[in-house]
Structures are given as C-alpha cells and as structure tokens.
C-alpha cells in the first residue's frame, strides 16, 4: 500500500463561522449541502439537531433521556439516526421527518442496532447489529421503511460503520481484528467479495465515499492520535490529509465536489465540528463546544 503525508495542519487554522454550539459530534451534510445534521449534548444527553450551513435555523429534533447519535440523511427532508429512547437501553434505528418531526422506529431488537447509513439512490439503510449468539456486530441492510432486514456479514471478529458507495454497488465498512486493531474494508452490495483497504495494524474506522466513488476518507490512529486519511481506489494510494498532536479527528465525509472534508474533533473530551479545505489546507470550526 502506498502511503504519504499531505497536510499537518489543524492547530493554527481555526476560524469560527457562526454561533457556537456545545458538544457537537457526528456531523452529516444534507445531499444538497444546504443543511447540517449533528448530535449535541448541550441539554444533557445527546440529541439530534439540524441547522443551515450558514448557521441559521438551528433546531433540536429529539429530546429523550437517552442518546441520539449518528444522523444520516434520506434526501433533504428526512434524518435517520440511532437512539436509545426514553429507557436508555440498547440503541435502535429511527426515521425522523423534518416537516412535522414525526419519528418512527425502524428496528426493534433485543440487541443493539446502530450507525445507520442511507443510500442516495434507493434509500436502503445499512446499519450494524449484534443479533448473533456471540453478540458481535455485523453489517445489516433494510428497506427505508424498516422492512426486509438482511445480514450481510458474518464472522468471529465484528463488522460495522458501513456506508454505501454512490452507485450502491459497493459498501465500505470497518472490520475488527482485535480490540485495538480495526481496518477499512470493501465488499459488494450483497456482502460478497471482501477486499482490504487500510493496512495500518491500527484502529482505522469511520469510512466515507467521495461523490464520484473514486476515493474513501477515514479516521485512523496509525499516527498515535486519530487523524484523517484518504484512499484513492484507482491508484491504491493512501494519503494523510489532517493531523494534530493533541486531538482526535473522527467521522469524516467529503463535500459533493470532493474539495472539502467535514469532520469532528475531540480534545480533552470536548467536541467540535470542523471543515477542512483540501486545496488550501485551512480548516474552519463550524460547531464548537
């Protein structure tokens, strides 16, 4: 695997964009990039929020005692997320319509159902679930209404954090080898033809696709702290694009034009959401604790 370093930045390039919000994590651009969904614990437990990308029209969408995390957009009007609900129990997958804030539970299982990702073409939902006897997570898929739930992976290690390619023909996901060793992998949409991407012998996680399907972005602690990397699927080349010595970088995603990366940063248990411009190497804080 080819590997090189592009940018070592993030420490001196912080520029606030708008009103700051406490405890922001798990950011997700809407498909038209006019809105941002994220989780925040400003009210205690983590809830799902949306706002316009210019900082206006911030709305709190959930308000249960449990945590709601990992939002994923279904078009520009629906957010799918994982939530514990009022009982603070195992997480399930929920559907939330922005127009009237209607919330529907899509899964209902004794185990944990988490990390949903919605396909842009069919709105089918990938998620991870620990429904097997060994209680290790596997990648599952279901229809947008929660029907036809099918298991895609099965193994003794554990798999999750799955995301659709733009054409929904492939899936990137995190495969677990040991407690401190996870790698980014690819498979076909039916769960066949698994292929390794990262080879760091570290904790690599949170993959996401570029809109053209030619690159992946992910987080890894191959540099001791969690940093951001891209992988060119055509050239087979891995590039470190963001690093900071005293903070961890998680949950990256490309902008539609592939020139920016949205991610969250954790430092001393404090979270903020930032955007990295890949051309200039400048990152900007957009949601802060």
Residue 112 CA to chain centroid, in angstroms?
17
pLDDT for residue 130 is more than 90? yes
What is the band of 286 on the pLDDT scale with cuts at 50, 70, 90?
A: confident
Higher pLDDT, 22 or 120: 120
| pLDDT value at residue 22 | 55
Tokens representing residue 196 in the block: 């390794």
- In this prediction, residues 184-201 reach a mean pLDDT of 95
Q: What is the pLDDT of residue 138?
A: 96
Higher-confidence residue: 21 or 162? 162
Nearest-angstrom CA–CA distance, 266 and 210: 23
> What are the tokens at 234?
């055509």
Location of structure tokens 């292929």 = 195
Largest CA distance in the chain: 49
| Spatial contact of 42 and 49, defined as CB atoms under 8 Å apart | no
| Nearest alpha carbon to residue 204 among 237, 230, 170, 235 | 230
Q: Where are the beta strands (DSSP E) in 199-269?
A: 204-209, 215-223, 225-232, 237-242, 248-254, 260-267
- In this prediction, residue 133 carries a pLDDT of 79
Residue with tokens 């559907």: 95
- Tens-place pLDDT, residues 16-25: 333 445 579 9
**Number of residues that this document lists for the chain:** 289
Q: Identify the sign of the CA torsion 237, 230, 190, 168.
A: negative
CA distance 45 to 64: 8
Q: What is the mean pLDDT of residues 4-13?
A: 45
Which pLDDT does position 103 carry in this prediction? 95
Which of these, 74, 84, 212, 68, lies nearest to 143 by C-alpha position? Answer: 74
Amino acid 287: pLDDT: 73
Q: What is the DSSP letter of 13?
A: -
Among the ranges given (21-30, 92-101, 232-241, 245-254), the one the predictor scored with the smallest mean pLDDT:
21-30
Provide the 8-state DSSP code for 23.
Answer: T
The token pair at 108 is 């209902």
Residue 98, H or E segment: none
Q: What pLDDT does 4 receive?
A: 53
Report phi then psi at 126, rounded to 5: -85, 145
The Cβ-side half-sphere exposure at 1, using a 13 Å CA radius, reads: 14
In order of start, what are the domains of the chain with their CATH numbers?
Answer: 2-169+179-287 (2.130.10.10)
Stated pTM of the model: 0.92
Instruction: Give pLDDT, residue 9.
Output: 47
Say if residue 134's pLDDT is above 60.
Answer: yes
pLDDT of residue 289: 53
Question: Lowest mean pLDDT: which of 109-123, 137-151, 272-286?
Answer: 272-286
Give the pLDDT confidence of 214-248 residue by residue, as tens digits.
Answer: 999 999 999 999 999 999 999 999 999 999 889 99
Dist CA 57 CA 69 (whole Å): 20
- pLDDT category at 132 given cuts 50, 70, 90 is confident
- Region class of 104: left (phi > 0), else alpha (psi between -120 and 50), else beta: beta
């Amino acid at each position: 695997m080819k590997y090189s370093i592009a940018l070592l930045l993030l420490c001196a390039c912080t520029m606030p964009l708008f009103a700051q919000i406490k405890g922001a994590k798990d950011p997700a651009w809407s498909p038209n990039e006019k809105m941002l969904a994220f989780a925040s614990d400003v009210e205690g437990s983590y809830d799902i929020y949306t706002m316009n990308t210019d900082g206006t029209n911030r709305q709190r969408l959930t308000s249960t005692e449990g945590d709601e995390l990992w939002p994923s957009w279904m078009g520009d009007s629906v957010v799918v997320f994982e939530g514990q609900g009022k009982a603070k129990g195992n997480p399930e997958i929920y559907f939330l319509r922005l127009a009237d804030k209607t919330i529907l539970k899509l899964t209902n299982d004794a185990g944990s159902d988490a990390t949903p990702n919605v396909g842009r073409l069919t709105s089918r939902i990938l998620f991870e679930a620990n429904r097997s006897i060994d209680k290790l997570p596997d990648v599952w898929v279901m229809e947008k209404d929660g029907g036809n739930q099918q298991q895609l992976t099965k193994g003794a290690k554990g798999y999750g954090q799955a995301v659709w390619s733009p054409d929904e023909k492939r899936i990137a996901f995190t495969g677990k080898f040991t407690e401190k060793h996870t790698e980014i992998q690819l498979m076909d949409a039916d769960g066949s033809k698994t292929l390794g991407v990262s080879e760091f012998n570290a904790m690599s996680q949170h993959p996401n696709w570029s809109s053209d399907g030619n690159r992946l972005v992910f987080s890894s602690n191959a540099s001791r702290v969690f940093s951001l990397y891209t992988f060119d699927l055509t050239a087979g080349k891995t590039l470190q694009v963001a690093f900071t010595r005293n903070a961890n970088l998680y949950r990256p995603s490309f902008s539609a034009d592939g020139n920016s990366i949205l991610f969250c940063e954790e430092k001393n248990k404090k979270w903020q959401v930032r955007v990295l411009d890949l051309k200039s190497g400048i990152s900007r804080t957009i949601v802060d604790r």
